[in-house]
Structure 1
């Protein structure tokens, strides 16, 4: 077994990167895949709450990367579904680590999982470059507004320059009024700006925020849940028609 390693990233904060990372992990696991989520946003940990492991967390990824514990001690199984585990980020914003150990960790863990999802911090820097070096694919999380689109294009070019050319766009928090987008004339503007293929469109759904804050996942009774599940299915190689309303 060798995991497909996927970066969940964005050019700016607040686009729903953590929610989508948690949702994709959940639905990939529900499809029978063994999934590990690595949270790399130092000082701003939240996936442990979303995945229901916060009360059990003792060690984090910085403990592993600084040699304070073995990886198995920092991996926590999520109670929300089988086959889903995570390694949480550190709560220390100034945490330092070895890039060599990070590469070795990801390559070693890849033999035990089908998918490894890595949530990146927003913006650029050494951590993003380190993550880029181990990933097979980047999912660029974009909201349909000019600032997010511009930042996503800058990020996409940055990833290209560092060798990660396989990228896909996920358009999140899509709001409509009477069937019309609230900000843009149409979603093609996002694709034309970022210049990467589209893999999914997720509508704005307040229930997603409530569910994740309570350590549970949005269900497929909601359109957003169906959209995330369909992205997970596409990541497994299944053909799912991309329906954009």
Structure 2
């Protein structure tokens, strides 16, 4: 039986997509899953910092997809999150070929329980390649008009591409929406047209995790929010609180 493949996408940059991808992967790993996180954002890599593998990688995803090395040589286990394994994107250049990604996923699928594909922002080649192999898409946006509009465009593209399941994560949500340009989080859900799977609060702790790879506090609001999303991804009923 192959791995469950989850692509993490966003319409615009700055939504915290890659940080969410790493931290959700870590939460799935904490639930006993063997998780492979593959970064597809060639030339703009960040997952290595967030997952704590910076300086530990020798090969990247392009090396694997182009046959320059075996997948096992590019996989690095996170020293921060047990059972979370990472393949980074190249520092510069690189191309993600959809056919090569499909072959790779089929090959490593039996080794992992979950494969998380961190795509580039927008709908370029990495997005198209991931959509071709994903069983589920997580669309990450922030509560502002531009991100919501772009999120709708990406959601439409996922539906047109035949993505089996699309779920929405609203990230960086402040305690009040007074300065966000929207009335409520329901506006995000209704405009994008995807089912909500979780809300992650704005947090300097998550910012620090994204910049330094520091783990989240076990009982803090951000960790609990991400843990709840991971539980829902695993089919466990967890009450969904929008505000």
TM range (shorter): over 0.9
Residue 206 of structure 1, aligned match among 187, 204, 207: 204
Residue of structure 1 in register with 2:160 after alignment: 161
Query: How much does 1:244 deviate?
Result: 2.3
Within 1, Cα distance between the matches of 2:60 and 2:68?
10
Residue 238 of structure 2, aligned match among 215, 237, 240: 240
Residue of structure 2 in register with 1:3 after alignment: 3
Provide TM-score, normalisation by structure 1.
0.95
Structure 2 contact 2–109 (Cα < 8 Å) conserved: yes
Residue of structure 1 in register with 2:222 after alignment: 224
1:58-207 matches, within 5 Å, as 58-93=58-93, 95-177=94-176, 181-183=178-180, 184-207=182-205
Within 1, Cα distance between the matches of 2:27 and 2:179?
29
Change (3 A) 1:220 1:185: farther
Provide TM-score, normalisation by structure 2.
0.96
Query: How much does 1:130 deviate?
Result: 1.4
1:146-195: CA deviations, max 9, x gaps? 10000000011111111114100000011124xx5542221100011011
Within 2, Cα distance between the matches of 1:98 and 1:119?
15
Size of the aligned set, in residue pairs, is 242
Q: Could you list the runs of 5+ residues in structure 2 that have no partner in the other structure? A: none
Partner secondary structure for residue 101 of structure 1: helix
Q: Which runs of 4+ in 1 moved over 3 A?
A: none
Structure 1 contact 6–137 (Cα < 8 Å) conserved: yes
Q: Could you list the runs of 5+ residues in structure 1 that have no partner in the other structure? A: none
CA RMSD of aligned residues (A): 1.3
